[in-house]
Structure formats: C-alpha cells, structure tokens
Amino acid sequence: MSLSALVDLHLHTTASDGQLSPTRLVDMLAARGLRVAAITDHDTTAGMEEALQAAHRYPALTIIPGVELSTDVPGGEIHLLGYLSNYNDPHLQDALRRFREGREVRGRRIVEKLAELGMPIEWERVRELAGDGAVGRPHVARAMVEKGYVSQIPEAFTKYIGRDGPAYVERLKLTPEEAVRLVVETGGLPVLAHPAEVAELDTVLVSLKAAGLVGMEVYYAQYPAPKRSRLAEAARRHDLLPCGGSDYHAFGTPEEAAPGDLGPPLELAEELMRRVGMRLPTRGQ
C-alpha cells in the first residue's frame, strides 16, 4: 500500500467521537504502515492505555499520547492539540474532567432544542452512541441520522447543531491562551489545529506563541495544496513546527481522509518526540 505519509498527528477514537476503538485504530495504523501516530481525542485521554497496549504488538509503530481541546474566541472557537509527556498529570486530568462534564450538559440541552424544533431524539441513545467516551455533537448527529432527520453527519452540523445552527449550545471552554498554558504546565507541546479556519491567523499566532505554542497544523489532510503552502509559510514566519494529519474519525463519508493520506515528514515527528522525551525505534526493533 502506497502512502503519502508515515506520520499522522491527529486521530480520534471511541474515547471521544471517533468510530474505531483505540485497539482497532492502532491495528489500522500498523496495517497501513505508519511509523508515528498521535491519538488526540476531544477532552480525554481515556483511550491512551488501550492504544499503547495495542501498539506493543507493532514495534515499528510509535504512539504519541495527545488530546484536542476546544477553546472559545468571540464568534467562534479555536482548537488546540496537546502532545503530552505525562497524560496522567492530575492537573490536566482535572481540567479534562470538567470539560467532559460541560459536554454532557451541552449535549442534553442540544437534545432539548432539537425536540423544540420537532426533531425528538432520545438522550439515552446519544449516551449509548458515546459508549464509554465523552459525549460530543457527532453522537447527537448520528442519532439524528438514525431518526432520518438528516442523511449524513455533516448535514446535521450545517443545518442544526453547528455554531450558526438553531440547536447549537455553548459549553465550558478555555481561551486559546489558557489552553496553551494548560498543556505547557503539564509538560506537553501545544499545537494549533486546523488553522485555516482561524480569523486573523498571524495575530492569533503571535499571542499563542507568547503563551507557549510550539507548532501549528500545516499537513492537514482536508486542505488543498495551495492552502497548505500558505500555512507552511505562516509556520516559518512564526518559527513553529509544521505538524498535521488526517483528523480521522472513521465516519465513513466519501470525503474523509484516512490515516497516512497526508502528514508531516518523519523528521518532524522525531523532533516532536524528542521534545516530549520519546524516541523513535529503529527499523526492525
């Protein structure tokens, strides 16, 4: 199988809103020949133990522990990836617990709003779809698909539960600078996720770098080459590591990129791992 990349630094599992368990995702990564991958579930590291255990079967594959944090800015939000040297840090885990509780409250309120719009779904079904993971809007969207209110998950976001939708509900979030500092304080490396959606990017990067930002996504699989080139130039201007990956959830939609479709070079992954105190195994190790 021919891949464009051996590295993917943005992946989700059933611990948040992905559709593959940590074990199944790791099996897929190994089968596709990846060398380095970061699991970055939303507001949780609950899948990390399982993922790391599964990776023991694949000596050529290194898993970097990570997390994705949603942060609040006027009129929108910014997502931060944290690559973690100690994902069990008590301060980090306490913050993530509070964020997950906020997701639960927000999820219930979205369900209430959908009922008011004539699209009732059962909260119990949303919770069931989330399994042991943190409740997210994709779980609500899947329940809407099951009921026939929308045909696909993206439609649910576009029409109803996205930021401009009639059933959207805010939840507890940090500011971007607070999220960067949280990751730094727990020994991790904060990286700006899908930056093409960020308004006034250069201004934001100056502020976030002052707070401790070390990288930004450039090799983001959903961006076309010209956009990636502009982001690469921004990363150079601000002296940030050019990270990236597929943002894979296993939603099964035609437009979804798969792990290994696009990612940063192996040398970037080695630098990232060096900074979090990890080492890339040699081939055949």
Domain count, the chain: 1
State residue 3's pLDDT score: 53
Task: Give the strands of the sheet with 7-11, arranged side by side.
Answer: 7-11, 36-39, 62-73, 76-83, 189-192, 215-220, 241-245
Containing domain of residue 137, as a range? 96-161
What pLDDT, in 10s, does the model give residues 1-18? 345 799 999 999 999 989
Answer whether residue 283 is part of any domain.
no
Answer whether residue 73 is part of any domain.
no
Is residue 140 pLDDT above 60, yes or no? yes
Answer whether residue 28 is part of any domain.
no
Confidence category of residue 68, pLDDT binned at 50, 70, 90: very high
Q: What is the mean pLDDT of residues 118-130?
A: 94
Q: Residue 144's closest CA among 173, 164, 165, 172? A: 165
State residue 284's pLDDT score: 46
Q: Residue 103's closest CA among 59, 146, 69? A: 69
Residues in the chain: 285
Q: Compute the distance between CA of residue 30 and CA of residue 55 in angstroms, rounded to an integer.
A: 8
119-123, 176-180, 236-240, 276-280: least confidently modelled range: 276-280
Answer whether residue 104 is part of any domain.
yes
8, 83 contact by CB (below 8 A): no
Type and span of the H or E element at 104: helix 90-116
Task: Kindly tell me the number of DSSP H helices and DSSP E strands found in the chain.
Answer: 10, 7
In single-letter form, the type of residue at position 22 comes to P
| Strand residue runs (E) in 75-212 | 76-83, 189-192
Is 282 in a helix, a strand, or coil? coil
Eight-state DSSP code of residue 135: -
**CA-atom Rg of the chain in angstroms:** 18
Q: Residue 214's closest CA among 185, 190, 198, 193? A: 190
What are 241's two structure tokens? Answer: 């590591």
User: 208-236 b/e with 16+ CB inside 10 Å = b?
Assistant: bbebbbbbbbbbbbebeeeebeebeebbe
Q: Give percent above pLDDT 90 in the chain.
A: 80
Q: What is the mean pLDDT of residues 83-87?
A: 95
Answer whether residue 153 is part of any domain.
yes
Confidence category of residue 285, pLDDT binned at 50, 70, 90: very low
State residue 18's pLDDT score: 93
Is residue 283 pLDDT above 70, yes or no? no
Answer whether residue 145 is part of any domain.
yes
Q: What is the mean pLDDT of residues 104-108?
A: 89
Q: Compute the distance between CA of residue 3 and CA of residue 5 in angstroms, rounded to an integer.
A: 5
- CA 158 centroid distance within chain: 19
CATH number of the domain to which 117 belongs: 1.10.150.650
State residue 74's pLDDT score: 81
Instruction: Tell me whether strands 76-83 and 189-192 are parallel, antiparallel or unpaired.
Output: antiparallel
Answer whether residue 156 is part of any domain.
yes
Q: What is the mean pLDDT of residues 68-92?
A: 92
What pLDDT, in 10s, does the model give residues 44-55? 999 999 999 999
Answer whether residue 144 is part of any domain.
yes
Q: Which residues pair with 37 in a beta bridge?
A: 8, 63
Type and span of the H or E element at 219: strand 215-220
Q: Which residues pair with 189 in a beta bridge?
A: 83
